[in-house]
Amino acid sequence: MGGFDIESLELRSENDIPERIETFRVVMEPSRLLRASMLQDLEKNRKTEIDYINGVIPKMAEGTGVSTPFNDLVVALVKSAEETQTVPDFDTNLKAFNKLLNS
């Protein structure tokens, strides 16, 4: 990732979290204004590549006993945005993830 060793973000304990967050912020600083391609697609009312990126995850998990609820939610939210031709609202999406966490 731009010459950065992503493995250095590995957590060995909960105590590592604050330092890893700060490292991640520094590493991602140059990219902070970039817009994800899927967001650009939604802004232009175009179909996204969600089926080819996140859509393959549940297919790969079939028969393994591995559930993919968070990925499935991402796919559902993006597909909903495609259908309604809207750009997702961060706070609304965050609520959906919190609901999933609390279920």
Selection from 52, 29, 28, 50 nearest residue 39 by Cα: 50
Selection from 35, 34, 40 nearest residue 81 by Cα: 40
Q: Please tell me the distance from the alpha carbon of residue 55 to that of residue 45, in angstroms, as a whole number.
A: 19
Mean pLDDT by runs of 10 across the 103 residues of the chain is 77 90 87 91 96 93 94 95 93 93 89
The reported pTM is 0.71
